[in-house]
Amino acid sequence: MLTMSDSVAQSALTNFRQGLRIKWVILKTAMEERLVYRGDFAFATLVRFLPIITQVFLWNAIFAGDSQRQLNGYSYSAMVSYYLLVMVARAFSSMPGLSNGIAMSVRDGSVRKYLLQPVDMLGYLFWHRIAHKLVYYIVATGPFALVFWLCRAYLPAWPEPLVLFACGMSLAMAFLIGFLIEALIGLVSFWFLEVSSLIFIYMMMSYFLSGHMIPLEWIAEWIPWVHYLPFKYLAYFPAAILLGRIPPESLMLELCIQAAWIVALLVLNRVAFHYGVRRYGAFGG
Amino acid sequence: MPAIDVQNIGRTYKVYQKREGLFASVKGLLHREYRDVHAVRDISFTIEEGEMVAFLGPNGAGKTTTLKLLSGLIVPTSGTATVLGYTPWKREDAYRRRFSLVTGQKEQLWWDLPAQESFRLNKEIYRVSWDDYRSRLDELTELLEVGELMGQPVRELSLGERMRMELIAALLHRPDVLFLDEPTIGLDVVSQRNVQQFLLKYQKEQGITVVLTSHYMKDVEALCDRAIVINKGNVIHDGSLDDIVDRFSQHKIIELHFGGDSTPRGIDRYGVVLEDRPPMLRLQVEKQKVSHVLSKVLAEYTIDDVSVSERPLEDVIAELFAADNKQNADNE
């Protein structure tokens, strides 16, 4: 009896190890792939910093250089630090090309790779995306650090370790929510081959409803239920934690809600994949 | 137990029927008419372990659909099939570890990286041990002569080189069943022959079951003894390649080399002149008249050399499809 449970444990361990190795090799291969076009990639990363600078100047103009002035609870320096932190959150939650990539693979039939090989498509794409992000952080950390250093006068003091930890958690979960929403949009292409308008709608909605464009508190004045949507976890929430805008007593609850969204989106993704592949099989490929 | 067992399998698609014009397009937004297309109607066959079988048929005959059914990409509307005892469209990992599908589309490899990176990934996906991986990779690269290309990004390889890399990626986990959909499409003659020779040798050595589709009759003749001919979603012939010519060709070809520098006039009364290149002439003659024609010609002219051969498989197949299409059109 003991030997049987031993062998079961043994094979579970072997399976686990093999699973880890696959993930590692996907990660490694995808990183190598990203680094092929390093020039283009580095340039694209740098260009993405231009809007940050223009946005800082834009807010400067709106506040008319008056450091005492408050707009809906935000001073100029609060605004700048909010914006910079939101950009950090977006660096985690934005998934350029994910939905489109899935849609394209359904359209041109290359999605069949995931159906023919003994791999899980979502898992494969996930590790692929992690590789994307890691390479991006390697390139973007320098410019980000520079921008933060230049704007250091506007930034609040270093937060408590616990707050910092909560912010880190929410950033990791922001990545997951961003990934799962865009993967879900991509999977819709099993039903409608063309999903670019859907992606556009999502981009617009997340731009407003995540607090990317203006602080979420301002939007909540017009749309009070914006707090019940998953979008705020893509940008506003991690920034707000660091800025002390989330009351400590509700921080834990908010993190749990964020985690609940991940579970819900994961279930939706699994269901969409299950039925999507069946539909693909029914309509051909 | 046969490796592949297909019973009365059928596959119908609903296809949106759009009429001509803008008005029809707008109308199509509200109401759509669909038409049933029977990609595969009612196909049955069995393939034993270690066989190498070709699917022949014109475009749209249902060859690729059948391969898709067998590799689990699509679900049939009727009938059953098992491959190695598995139902393909359940897509169990245990089954997916034991077969490979190679198509002319070549999408297994990572475009921007050397092929060896893709192989390494496949090693993990299919859980191949290091020892097996190394020995198989060495063997395959040697057989396919791609050793020096391993470090080159896939996008820089020629079509033929890429196809050979695809084959390696598909064979690293040593599948028991290999499906090949137009494996030599777009390749030049040398590459085609390379791939053929490799497949022949590899199949013999490993004893794997291979099913292939090809438009290229030379592939089929080089590789397979048995062919399943499909047209309009039905099997119209299942047997050896020679049987096809025997059964469907009504003619043979007589090649005559005349004494002297010219070919005589009026010889077309015995059959259709296919080629007239003095002093050689090729004549197509009805099967039952061959001996009669031969005796006449030999008596009438001075002949240096003579040979009788079957018509090329390619011509017979082309004729067969054309006849079948015409018959279908007449019936409808």
In a domain, A1, yes or no: no
Q: Has residue A93 been placed in a domain?
A: yes
Residue A10 domain flag: no
Query: What pLDDT is attached to residue B330?
Result: 58
Task: Work out the average pLDDT over B274-286.
Answer: 90
pLDDT tens for A64-108 read 877 788 888 888 888 999 999 999 999 999 999 999 999 999 888
What number is the average pLDDT over the span B178-188? 87
Residue whose structure tokens are 């940008």: A235
More reliable by pLDDT, A143 or B28: A143
- Are B121 and A25 inside 8 Å of each other by CB? yes
- Cβ of A282 within 8 Å of Cβ of B75? The answer is yes
Query: Is B120 close to A25, i.e. CB distance below 8 A?
Result: yes
Q: Residue B176's pLDDT band (boundaries 50, 70, 90)?
A: very high
Q: Which residue out of A20, A104, A112, A277 would a mutagenesis test of the B interface target, given it has the greatest number of B Cβ atoms within 10 Å?
A: A112
Kindly report the nearest CA distance between residue A11 and chain B, in angstroms: 13
Taking an 8 Å cut-off on Cβ atoms, the answer to whether A29 and B105 are in contact is no
Q: Of B123 and A193, which is predicted with more confidence?
A: B123
**Residues B306, B171 share a domain:** no
Percent of chain A's residues with pLDDT above 70: 97
Residues B226 and B295 grouped into a single domain: no
| pLDDT at residue A282, rounded to an integer | 66
Query: Within 10 A of B30 (CB to CB), how many other CB atoms are there?
Result: 6
A236-260 burial, b for 16+ CB within 10 Å, e for fewer?
bbbbbbbbebbeeeebeebbebbbe
On the question of pLDDT at B148 being above 70, the answer is yes
State the smallest CA–CA distance between residue A182 and chain B in angstroms: 23
**Would B258 be classed as within a structural domain?**
yes
Give the ipTM of the model, two decimals please. Answer: 0.82
Q: What is the CATH number of the domain that holds B279?
A: 3.30.70.1150
Subunit contact A32:B113, Cβ cutoff 8 A: yes
Q: How many domains does chain B have?
A: 2
A11 domain-assigned: no
Determine the average pLDDT of the residues in A181-207: 93
Assess if residue A3 is contained within a domain.
no
Among A150-154, B18-22, B108-112, the range scoring the smallest mean pLDDT is B18-22
Quote the CA–CA distance of A2 and A101 in Å, as a whole number.
48
Cβ-based contacts under 8 A for chains A and B: 71
Contact indicator for B182, B192 with CB cutoff of 8 Å: no
Which residue among B14, B110, B124 sits closest to A22, beta carbon to beta carbon? B124
CA-based nearest distance A9→chain B, Å? 19
Could A118 and B125 be called an inter-chain contact, meaning their C-beta atoms sit closer than 8 Å? yes
Helix (H) or strand (E) holding B221: helix B217-223
**CB-CB under 8 Å, A118 with B124:** no
Task: Report the gap between the CA of B246 and the closest CA in chain A (Å).
Answer: 36
The C-alpha atoms of residue B175 and residue B171 are separated, in whole angstroms, by 6
Instruction: Select from A214, A251, A253 the least CA-distant residue to A236.
Output: A214
The reply to whether B325 falls in a domain is no
Paired with B300 in beta bridges are none
- State how far the Cα of B133 lies from the Cα of B174, in Å rounded to an integer: 10
- Select the residue of B75, B121, B123 nearest A281 (Cβ to Cβ): B75
Residue A281 pLDDT > 90: no
Within-domain flag for A4: no
Both B123 and B150 in one domain: the answer is: yes
Q: Report chain A residues whose CB lies below 8 A from the CB of B123.
A: 25
CA dist B168 and B123 (Å) reads 11
Residue among B49, B43, B50 at smallest CA distance from B68? B43
Domain, as residue range, for B271: 250-310
pLDDT value at position B109?
87
> Could you tell me which of B177, B148, B175, B176 has the C-alpha nearest to residue B164?
B148
A32 touches chain B (CB under 8 A): yes
B97 and B179 in a single domain? The answer is yes
Least confident of A69-73, A161-165, B15-19, B207-211: B15-19
B101 lies in the same domain as B222? yes
Query: What pLDDT is attached to residue A2?
Result: 52
Does residue B27 belong to any structural domain of this protein? yes
In this structure, the answer to whether residues B258 and B183 fall within a common structural domain is: no
Instruction: Tell me if A158 is assigned to some domain.
Output: yes
Share of chain B above pLDDT 90, in %: 44
Min Cα distance B107 → chain A (Å) is 6
Q: Does some domain include residue B95?
A: yes
pLDDT at A283 over 90: no
What residues does B231 pair with on adjacent strands? B234
What's the whole-number mean pLDDT along residues B187-202? Answer: 88
pLDDT for position B241: 84
Residue B327 located in a structural domain: no
pLDDT band at B106, cuts 50/70/90? Answer: low
Is there a single domain that holds both residue B87 and residue B32? yes
Residue A9 lies in a domain: no
| Chain center to CA of A191 | 25
**Across residues B106-123, what is the average pLDDT?**
88
Which of the 8 DSSP states describes residue A156? P
Per CB-CB distance under 8 Å, the chain A contacts of B108 are 113
Cβ pair B121:A29 closer than 8 A: yes
Rounded CA separation B222/B204 (Å): 13
Nearest to A284 among B74, B89, B110 (CB): B74
Domain boundary among B220, B245, B270: B245
Tokens representing residue B55 in the block: 């699917």
Alpha helices in B126-183 (DSSP H): 130-144, 159-171
Q: What is the pLDDT of residue B264?
A: 84
Q: Pick from B54, B302, B121, B299: which is nearest to A25 by CA? A: B121
Asked if A36 lies within 8 A of B112 by C-beta distance, the reply is yes
Tell whether the model's pLDDT for residue A285 goes beyond 60. Answer: no
pLDDT at B15 over 80: no
Q: Sheet harboring B4-17: ordered strands across?
A: B33-47, B4-17, B78-83
* Mean pLDDT, residues A128-134: 93
Q: Which domain holds residue A40?
A: 21-283
At A255 the pLDDT is: 96
As a whole number, mean pLDDT of residues B195-216 equals 90
User: How many Å lie between the alpha carbon of A240 and the closest alpha carbon of chain B?
Assistant: 40
Instruction: Render pLDDT for A251-279 as a digit per residue (tens, 0 to 9).
Output: 999 999 999 999 999 999 999 999 999 88
Burial class, A65, CB count within 10 angstroms (exposed 0-12 / middle 13-18 / buried 19+): exposed
Does B290 have pLDDT greater than 80? yes
- Which of B67, B75, B92, B98 is the best substitution to test chain A (most A C-beta atoms within 10 A)? B75
B57 and B181 inside one domain: yes
Q: What's the rounded Cα separation, in Å, for the pair B317 and B248?
A: 8
**Regarding beta strands B251-258 and B33-47, do their DSSP bridges make them parallel or antiparallel, or are they unpaired?**
unpaired
Q: Which long-range contacts (CB under 8 A, 24 or more apart) does A135-139 make?
A: A135/A31, A135/A34, A135/A35, A135/A41, A136/A45, A136/A91, A137/A91, A139/A41, A139/A42, A139/A45
Q: Do B205 and B285 share a structural domain? A: no
Please give the tally of structural domains in chain A: 1
Assess whether pLDDT exceeds 80 at residue A46: no
Classify residue B90 by its DSSP letter. G
With CA atoms as reference, the chain A residue closest to B120 would be A25
Q: How confident is the model at residue B328 (pLDDT cuts 50, 70, 90)?
A: low
Task: Report the pLDDT averaged over residues B270-290.
Answer: 89
**Domain of residue B97, CATH code:** 3.40.50.300
Identify whether B326 is part of a domain: no
